[in-house]
């Protein structure tokens, strides 16, 4: 059965909304962002402070960490940082620039998140420096790939629990993924 636009425009076949309409969905959560927020059951988005607070991660029972800002010029934690916390680590060396191509990481990151959630009592922290752009982009891609959400549905689902703001380049890459998955 064809999908209609999640934003309520038109009827019939689903069409990826323009970036301008998607931007309006990003900041719907009241209040301010904290260092870490659960955006879906078992999926947390956070910043570099949350990623480095192993006591808090233990208190939240985080079993997996996906660092969307991996590398020595970003948030250089790596798997050895989490060894004593018994946390499985995956790093994506991404830069928060509209010209950076995040698409090569969509499926590997989505698989890592799915694997984390498939683990008994699995919980995953997806983080970058501020928890706004790179991390949210990878969580949105996961929701689109593995939970069959449209981009607009994924944005609404995440933004109701955390302020997110994929940069313009990442938003366009997510729009292209949306078109591939839903046309």
Rounded distance between C-alpha atoms, residue 39 and residue 16, angstroms: 22
**Reported confidence tier of residue 135, pLDDT bands at 50, 70, 90:** very high
| Counted domains in the chain | 1
Please say if 128 is a catalytic residue.
Answer: yes
pLDDT in the model for residue 3:
40
* Catalytic entry in 48, 65, 128, 177: 128
Flag whether 78 is in a domain. Answer: yes
Flag whether 1 is in a domain. Answer: no
43-77 pLDDT, tens digit each: 999 999 999 999 999 999 999 999 999 987 788 89
The CATH number of the domain where 161 resides is what?
Answer: 3.90.190.10
Domain around 88: 36-182
Flag whether 15 is in a domain. Answer: no
pLDDT in the model for residue 159:
92
pLDDT in the model for residue 33:
66
Flag whether 115 is in a domain. Answer: yes
CB burial readout 30-46, b (16+ within 10 A) else e? eeebebbbebbebbbbb
Flag whether 108 is in a domain. Answer: yes
């Amino acid at each position: 059965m064809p999908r209609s636009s999640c934003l309520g425009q038109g009827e019939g076949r689903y069409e990826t909304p323009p970036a301008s309409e998607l931007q309006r969905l990003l900041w719907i959560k009241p209040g301010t962002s904290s260092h870490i927020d659960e955006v879906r059951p078992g999926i947390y988005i956070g910043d570099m402070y949350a990623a480095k607070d192993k006591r808090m991660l233990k208190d939240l029972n985080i079993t997996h960490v996906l660092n969307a800002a991996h590398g020595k010029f970003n948030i250089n934690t790596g798997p050895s940082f989490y060894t004593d916390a018994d946390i499985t680590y995956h790093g994506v060396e991404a830069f928060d620039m509209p010209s950076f191509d995040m698409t090569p990481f969509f499926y590997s990151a989505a698989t890592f998140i799915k694997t984390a959630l498939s683990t008994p009592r699995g919980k995953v922290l997806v983080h970058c420096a501020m928890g706004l752009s790179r991390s949210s982009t990878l969580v949105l891609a996961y929701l689109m790939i593995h939970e069959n959400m449209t981009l607009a549905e994924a944005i609404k689902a995440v933004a109701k629990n955390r302020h997110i703001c994929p940069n313009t380049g990442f938003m366009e890459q997510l729009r292209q993924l949306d078109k591939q998955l839903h046309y």
